[in-house]
Homo-oligomer: A and B are copies of this chain.
Amino acid sequence: MTPSHRATGFPAGDSSPPPAARRRPGGRTSRIRAQVLDAVRAELVEAGYDALTVDAVAARAGVHRTTVYRRWRDVGGLLADVLDAASDDDWQPEDTGSLPGDLAVLNHQIHTALTAQPPITAALIAASFRSDEAARALQRFWEDRYARCEIVVTRAARRGEIPARTDARQLLIAATAPLYHQLVLLRTPPDPRLPDHAARGAALAASAGAFTESPPDDTP
């Protein structure tokens, strides 16, 4: 994944502000969008959801407030666009040649995003509990990311590492869920071994047929 000013959350989520000189593709409209979304991210991590207002975003972005109201309507619209913009990239999961390897790289990217400073990913997840619009945008974002990751499972099946009828989504959720659970909900201190452990566990389970439609061992 290319380092990006976009605050993705999954998997990488480089939240650093863009270098001032970075070229903004497109014309004035996309330049304004980039300025506004940068301002949303900065306000969110600095002041939090409660202080996030259209006016503060407009002022920080140096854009007239009526422009922001007209295009984004409210804070929910701004947050949703930050998340939608995060999918506008060419990120693809790495091909390391093995399923545990691919999942480990993915998990390290998620771990980096979830523990990044400033914590833009964590702030966007928290905001999803405040704004239904942000929650739906976060769903879209993750849906897109998990869909892109399905190639990891396809490749593993092609290499014979896992059964051909493995459910890609189930496997990807199993691999990544422990990171989100521990870092976002359980709020345990970051454990550098966690990405590899979760990747290995899911890969072993997949190899054992845990995520096939009709599992070999249909225990309750």
A interface, CB within 8 angstroms of B: 96, 98, 100-101, 104, 125-126, 128-129, 135, 138-139, 142, 170, 173-174, 176-178, 180-182, 184-187, 196-198, 200-205, 207-211, 215, 217, 219-220
List chain B residues, Cβ under 8 A from A196.
Answer: 219-220
List chain B residues, Cβ under 8 A from A96.
Answer: 220
Are the C-beta atoms of A181 and B176 separated by less than 8 Å? Answer: yes
Q: Which of A96, A170, A184, A201 has the most CB of B within 10 A?
A: A201
The copy count of this chain in the complex is 2
| Seed contacts A100-B219, A101-B219, A196-B220; 19 additional CB < 8 Å A-B pairs | A98-B219, A100-B217, A104-B220, A139-B187, A170-B201, A173-B178, A173-B181, A173-B186, A176-B181, A177-B180, A180-B180, A184-B185, A200-B215, A201-B202, A202-B205, A204-B210, A204-B217, A205-B205, A205-B208
List chain B residues, Cβ under 8 A from A219.
Answer: 98, 100-101, 104, 196, 200, 203
List chain B residues, Cβ under 8 A from A178.
Answer: 170, 173-174, 177
State which of B100, B176, B210 has its C-beta within 8 Å of the C-beta of A201.
B210
Nearest-Cβ distance from residue A137 to partner chain B, whole angstroms: 11
Cα distance A198–B205 when bound, in Å? 10
Are the C-beta atoms of A186 and B142 separated by less than 8 Å? Answer: yes
Cα distance A187–B131 when bound, in Å? 13
Are the C-beta atoms of A185 and B180 separated by less than 8 Å? Answer: yes
Cα distance A185–B185 when bound, in Å? 9
Are the C-beta atoms of B182 and A181 separated by less than 8 Å? Answer: no
